[in-house]
């Protein structure tokens, strides 16, 4: 078992031992590697100034994705190649992205610029012919306070000068992936009273959790990192599943979407494009590309926020969670998993290993709604999933789930019963809205008042009626709104 981390930084191998393993990536880069191009501003994943590229070995090569380095800890990056804004140059020559930002005057104070450059470089890697829409979507995780976005978008669309080399040409992936592969196996770092363990098998992970039931599982760290930076969370024992084989898959088995316990939201977004449009639509509005590349579906479920964006869909699909511990395996329905605010049917030493989501049939209508103060990179005020089969206007198999209206996501059994088997009409949906209001218990907070959320609970039903039923079948199944 290794007692230190091994990774690459801009093509150079790094061996990290002791307390450094517990630093955030951004702080380590800036304070210990002099890589001050990576900026920190919000330290909670919201501004993108700290964006770096992380190359993860896949089939002998490296798959690069942008992530927020302020809410990632070094121990999460063991076995990867980290590329920062400094690593994009070739000698004194700027990359095509960097040169384009200069040519289009995409920078004023410059504080956000490295983050934009790295996020744009990721887009440039994945899609050589970039559309304006793709550029805007790729940059939703990056904020600029002074330049304005037009010059930045122009820069993203015109990468004709600079050295023009791709990451693969700057840092051939095979030797790096091969060197990282030599460090396979489990990793345990202990320093200053803290322990980090990255097991290579599920059995090792479960044995460790049995010994250390208070250990915190850290996956993408997109909730965990914010808790550490903003709320002073400092657990002594942490476990990541990043080296455990077989927990990162996604497949469809007999109409059930099976998602591994460490599958990222970004992988799920890519997988569901075209095949599960309602879920894909809501995933496109989840955080930012940086957040989706790190965050996992299991983390969204286990974090147990009543406004977690994936939950209403999982509720109306009757998703099942496979849980494992050293005592064995069991399956729990998502509809009974939450026992109260942040209280789960998850025993000490237990973890989510798989999420099974029976997919709605093609004849069914499923709509997911996210209400937030802005479209992208915002926490929901209210979420909803509405599922039913429509035969003309007759409704059957009605399932409704709302988030942001109680300490946990709620199904609405009385409203479902009112609609079930009935002919849809505006009057019936208005009545359903009145019943829905009696089934929720919203509170007021910074994102919205109790009254606003109550209004949304009925208005979302009217929206569904007008768009999906009165608007006709052509309006159906086109994604989340």
Ligand X SMILES: Cc1cc2nc3c(=O)[nH]c(=O)nc-3n(C[C@H](O)[C@H](O)[C@H](O)COP(=O)(O)OP(=O)(O)OC[C@H]3O[C@@H](n4cnc5c(N)ncnc54)[C@H](O)[C@@H]3O)c2cc1C
Closer residue to ligand FES, CB minimum distance, 145 or 327: 145
Residue 9, token pair as written in the block: 């930084």
The interface partner of residue 295, options being ligand FES, ligand X, none and the CB cut-off 5 to 8 Å by kind, is: ligand X
Q: How far apart are the C-alpha atoms of 150 and 130, rounded to whole Å? A: 15
Sort strands 328-333 and 410-411 into parallel, antiparallel or unpaired: unpaired
Q: Does 308 bind ligand X (CB under 6 A)?
A: yes
Cα–Cα nearest to 402, from 464, 360, 333: 464
Query: CA 180, 184, 185 angle in degrees (round to 5)?
Result: 155
* Site residue total, ligand FES (CB under 6 A): 23
Distances 222 to 70, 211, 294, 338 between C-alpha atoms, Å? 10, 26, 7, 21
Give, as ranges, the residues between 179 and 238 that touch ligand FES (CB under 6 A): none
Closer residue to ligand X, CB minimum distance, 261 or 433: 261
Residue 66 near residue 120 (C-beta atoms within 8 A): no
Q: Does 261 bind ligand X (CB under 6 A)?
A: yes
**Closest distance to ligand FES from the beta carbon of 470 (Å):** 42
Region of 81-89, 108-116, 311-319, 336-344 interacting with ligand FES (CB under 6 A): 108-116
The interface partner of residue 42, options being ligand X, ligand FES, none and the CB cut-off 5 to 8 Å by kind, is: ligand FES
Select from 54, 62, 94, 112 the one that contacts ligand FES (CB under 6 A): 112
The interface partner of residue 398, options being ligand X, ligand FES, none and the CB cut-off 5 to 8 Å by kind, is: none
Q: Does 45 bind ligand X (CB under 6 A)?
A: yes
Residue 265 near residue 280 (C-beta atoms within 8 A): no
Residue 480, token pair as written in the block: 């989340």
Residue 342 near residue 304 (C-beta atoms within 8 A): yes
Distances 65 to 169, 315, 456, 457 between C-alpha atoms, Å? 16, 30, 36, 37
**Closest distance to ligand FES from the beta carbon of 142 (Å):** 9
The interface partner of residue 49, options being ligand FES, ligand X, none and the CB cut-off 5 to 8 Å by kind, is: ligand FES
**Closest distance to ligand FES from the beta carbon of 41 (Å):** 5
Residue 169, token pair as written in the block: 């040409």
Residue 233, token pair as written in the block: 């969370």
Q: Does 50 bind ligand FES (CB under 6 A)?
A: yes
Footprint of ligand X (CB under 6 A)? 44-46, 216-224, 226, 261, 265, 286-287, 291, 294-296, 298-300, 302-303, 308-309, 351-352
Footprint of ligand FES (CB under 6 A)? 40-43, 45-50, 68, 70, 107-113, 144-147
């Amino acid at each position: 078992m290794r007692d230190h981390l091994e990774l690459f930084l801009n093509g150079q191998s790094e061996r990290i031992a002791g307390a450094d393993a517990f630093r955030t990536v951004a702080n380590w880069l800036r304070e210990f590697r002099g890589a001050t191009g990576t900026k920190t501003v919000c330290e909670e994943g919201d501004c993108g100034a700290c964006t770096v590229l992380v190359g993860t070995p896949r089939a002998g090569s490296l798959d690069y994705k942008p992530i927020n380095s302020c809410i990632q800890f070094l121990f999460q990056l063991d076995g990867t190649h980290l590329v920062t804004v400094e690593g994009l140059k070739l000698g004194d020559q700027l990359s095509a992205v960097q040169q384009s930002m200069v040519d289009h005057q995409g920078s004023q104070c410059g504080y956000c610029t490295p983050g934009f450059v790295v996020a744009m470089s990721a887009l440039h890697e994945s899609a050589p012919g970039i559309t304006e829409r793709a550029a805007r979507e790729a940059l939703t995780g990056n904020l600029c306070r002074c330049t304005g976005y037009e010059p930045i978008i122009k820069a993203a669309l015109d990468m004709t000068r600079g050295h023009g080399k791709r990451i693969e040409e700057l840092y051939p992936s095979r030797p790096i992936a091969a060197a990282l592969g030599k460090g396979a196996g489990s990793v345990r770092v202990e320093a200053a009273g803290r322990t980090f363990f990255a097991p290579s098998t599920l059995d090792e992970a479960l044995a460790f959790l049995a010994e250390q039931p208070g250990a915190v599982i850290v996956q993408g760290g997109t909730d965990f990192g914010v808790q550490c930076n903003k709320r002073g969370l400092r657990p002594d024992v942490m476990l990541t599943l990043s080296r455990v084989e077989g927990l990162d898959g996604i497949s469809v088995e007999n109409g059930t979407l099976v998602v591994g316990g460490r599958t990222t939201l970004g992988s799920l977004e890519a997988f569901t494009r075209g095949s599960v449009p309602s879920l894909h639509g809501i995933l496109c509005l989840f955080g930012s590309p940086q957040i989706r590349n790190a965050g996992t579906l299991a983390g969204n479920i286990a974090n147990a926020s009543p406004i977690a964006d994936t939950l209403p869909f999982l509720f109306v699909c009757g998703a099942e969670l496979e849980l494992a511990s050293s005592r064995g395996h069991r399956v729990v329905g998502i509809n009974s998993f939450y026992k109260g605010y942040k209280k789960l049917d998850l025993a000490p030493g237990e973890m989510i290993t798989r999420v099974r989501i029976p997919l709605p049939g093609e004849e069914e209508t499923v709509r997911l709604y996210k209400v937030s103060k802005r479209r992208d990179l915002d926490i929901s005020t209210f979420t909803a999933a509405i599922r039913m089969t429509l035969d003309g206007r007759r409704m059957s198999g009605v399932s409704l789930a709302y988030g942001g209206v109680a300490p946990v996501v709620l199904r609405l059994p009385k409203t479902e019963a009112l609609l079930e088997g009935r002919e849809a009409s505006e009057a019936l949906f208005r009545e359903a809205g009145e019943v829905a209001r009696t089934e929720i218990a919203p509170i007021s907070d910074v994102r919205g008042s109790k009254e606003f959320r109550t209004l949304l609970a009925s208005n979302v039903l009217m929206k569904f009626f007008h768009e999906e039923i009165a608007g006709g079948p052509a309006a159906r199944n086109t994604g989340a709104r």
